[in-house]
Amino acid sequence: MANEQYLTTAHYLTCSKGAKPVRVSVDSQKSVKFSGSLAATSKDLQTKSNFICAGSVAFAAGAIAGVATFAVGACMCVPGPGWVMAAIIAAVVVAALIFAGCKCASAAATRAWLPATTSQHSKLNGTPLLTLSSQMTCPAEGGIITAQETLWEAWGQQTLTNLGHIANFAFGFLVGRGGASMVAEAGTAAAGASSAGQAATTFARTFGKSFVNTAKENLVQQFTGWNQGGMFCRFMKGFGLYGEVKAHYDIWTDDEKSTWEKIQASGMSLILDVFAAKGATTVCFPAGTKVHTQWGLADIEKLEIGVPVLTYNEETGRQEYKQVKKVMRRMTRRMCAMELSNGTTLEVTPEHRFFSNGEWVPIEELNVNDTLQLKDNSIVVIENKIIFPTFVEVYNLEIEDNENYYVTEEGILVHNGYKNKPKNSPDPKKWKEKGGSIKISDDGKVWEYTDWEGHTVKYKDGYPDFTPYERQRVNIDMKGNHTTDFTDANKMAPKGKKLAENTWHHNENGTTMQEIPTDIHQRFTHRGGVSLKKNNL
């Protein structure tokens, strides 16, 4: 080190696990100074410095926040994050930072400067001096502490580190929500079991099915379609995949791990990724997306209730301004990036529906060379499209009367609804013509159909919940055959054979038969356990 610059109290330190830089402190000596600042030696372990060890708690804190917000939302029926959700997240973050500070303080005693990085030429009272190239380890937390010459450099480095902490928190948040959602679904399915054994079996089967279906959709959608995109889209996908690819790269290049440990670590990363997929929400635009209002273009995240936005009346074929009823915000882990023939680039969640060739189609189902409708009724062509993983906050609007609006400066017509209606459920237009009504939850996962006689059935994640009309339920070894399953259900039913005016409904969990009125079962059309059995889902 011919040109060593010695570490002094004028310099700063950052930790790979920390959340803030600290100024160098010197306790080993009080006499030797460089440029008026005390020189640091390898005895100065910075035991009084607290870096706030956020890196070790970010994921866990996110998971706790995810579970908590899911639980509160389920119990209180709070739509969207709202102030309650924001308060929960804020409280968890504050608690996590306090805990991180305590962890850092308790780990300080284990810190040590790496001998190979201290000055190889200069010592003070037999102790090596430190330089700006010196590094200190924190074995208790697995952190590496490095020196920075100025406060600006220190915060620049710390900002990059904190981005990783934020990503870990966001990923943990989605994992927590996804895991809680799967547990809640499985718990609901197991609630009707007649014995502890049946409950455990039903819980495991439902949880496993949810996990497998989510994994199938998530992994296929993340890693396909690379060659179909242009350079812009490939770049976007590469940027989004970086975090996940790097995580697996770090695992498989770790010389200290055995092959089995690498398999376990990589597998756990994929498992957590599936939970995150379940926790992610869909059908929104990122901040900065332009929306056409009566007063000009506005960023979607800045819109407020009551603002008139331009919409399309499908019945009259005319454009009209309708007020915003609600601005919804969510976190998502997948986005679709597009290049259009007019030079516009656009990002949106893959499930969002666009008006193409006279119908509403999810953007993930449209292909290169398909068209989108613009504000002036002309069309624009999709030149490149790719779906990539990410963690970002996104927004959507609930609009009065018309369920659509126009985005980007050119005015692309998009639907404000979520996923398509539940498969085989009543046609919305015909249902409303008969006097029925439909409500859709903010996350698009619950469609509530109310008929002209006041009967209501909620379709959760695509399947009807007939529990309010249920006379009894029984768990059987479901075959997917009406005659066989009805016979078994009648034999095993706790209240005996079903009533003449009722029928047996095959629940989607694959084991439960529910006795409900035949007219309700027929009126609220659906798919259930039979279709799942036949399709081996």
Give the H or E element holding residue 94.
helix 82-107
**pLDDT at residue number 29:** 92
- If DSSP codes are grouped into helix, strand and coil, which group holds residue 442? coil
Tokens coding 370: 């398909």
What CA–CA distances, in Å, run from 409 to 44, 309, 310? 58, 14, 13
In this predicted model, which residue has the larger pLDDT, 432 or 42? 42
**pLDDT at residue number 322:** 95
- If DSSP codes are grouped into helix, strand and coil, which group holds residue 102? helix
Residue 202's nearest CA partner among 465, 474, 462, 469 is 474
Overall average pLDDT of the 41-46 stretch:
92
Reply yes or no on whether the pLDDT at 134 is more than 90: yes
Domain ranges of the chain: 12-172, 186-279, 285-415, 428-534
Reply yes or no on whether the pLDDT at 243 is more than 60: no
**pLDDT at residue number 274:** 53
Least confident of 182-186, 216-220, 466-470: 216-220
Overall average pLDDT of the 325-333 stretch:
80
**pLDDT at residue number 177:** 66
Domain 285-415, CATH among 3.40.30.10, 3.40.50.1220, 3.40.50.300, 2.170.16.10: 2.170.16.10
* 339-371 per-residue burial string, b: 16 or more CB within 10 A, e: under 16: bbeeebebbbbbbbbbbbeeebbbbbebeeebb
User: What span, in angstroms and rounded, lies between the C-alpha atoms of 322 and 164?
Assistant: 41
**pLDDT at residue number 159:** 78
pLDDT in tens, 402-461: 889 999 999 999 998 654 677 778 877 788 888 888 887 756 678 899 999 999 999 987
Cβ pair 357, 371 in contact under 8 A: yes
Average pLDDT, the chain: 79
Reply yes or no on whether the pLDDT at 309 is more than 90: yes
User: What span, in angstroms and rounded, lies between the C-alpha atoms of 46 and 247?
Assistant: 30
Residue 447's nearest CA partner among 436, 455, 459, 457 is 459
In this predicted model, which residue has the larger pLDDT, 87 or 224? 87
What proportion of the chain, given as a percentage, has pLDDT over 90? 33
Reply yes or no on whether the pLDDT at 150 is more than 80: yes
**pLDDT at residue number 222:** 45
Reply yes or no on whether the pLDDT at 362 is more than 90: no
Overall average pLDDT of the 357-375 stretch:
89
User: What span, in angstroms and rounded, lies between the C-alpha atoms of 193 and 86?
Assistant: 37
Q: Please name the residues in contact with 318: beta carbons below 8 A apart, sequence gap of 6 or more.
A: 312
In this predicted model, which residue has the larger pLDDT, 99 or 168? 99
Reply yes or no on whether the pLDDT at 221 is more than 80: no
User: What span, in angstroms and rounded, lies between the C-alpha atoms of 15 and 147?
Assistant: 9
DSSP code of residue 445: -
Q: What are phi and psi of 436, to 5 degrees?
A: -85, 175
Overall average pLDDT of the 466-478 stretch:
93
pLDDT in tens, 525-536: 887 777 666 555
**What's the angle, vertex CA 489, arms to CA 484 and CA 494, rounded to 5?**
165
Q: Exposure of 267 by Cβ count < 10 A (0-12 exposed, 13-18 middle, 19+ buried)?
A: exposed
**pLDDT at residue number 314:** 82
Reply yes or no on whether the pLDDT at 302 is more than 80: yes
pLDDT in tens, 380-410: 999 888 887 666 778 889 888 888 999 999 9
DSSP string for residues in 290-356: EEEETTEEEEGGG--TT-EEEEEETTTTEEEEEEEEEEEEEEEEEEEEEEETTS-EEEE-TT-EEEE
Reply yes or no on whether the pLDDT at 230 is more than 70: no
User: What span, in angstroms and rounded, lies between the C-alpha atoms of 183 and 237?
Assistant: 31
User: What span, in angstroms and rounded, lies between the C-alpha atoms of 348 and 330?
Assistant: 13
Overall average pLDDT of the 13-23 stretch:
89
User: What span, in angstroms and rounded, lies between the C-alpha atoms of 122 and 417?
Assistant: 69
Tokens coding 403: 């369920």
Reply yes or no on whether the pLDDT at 114 is more than 50: yes
Least confident of 103-112, 212-221, 415-424: 212-221
DSSP string for residues in 30-45: SS-EETTEEBPBTT--
Cβ pair 416, 396 in contact under 8 A: yes
Overall average pLDDT of the 255-274 stretch:
58
pLDDT in tens, 53-107: 887 787 677 677 767 766 665 554 444 444 565 667 667 777 877 888 888 888 8
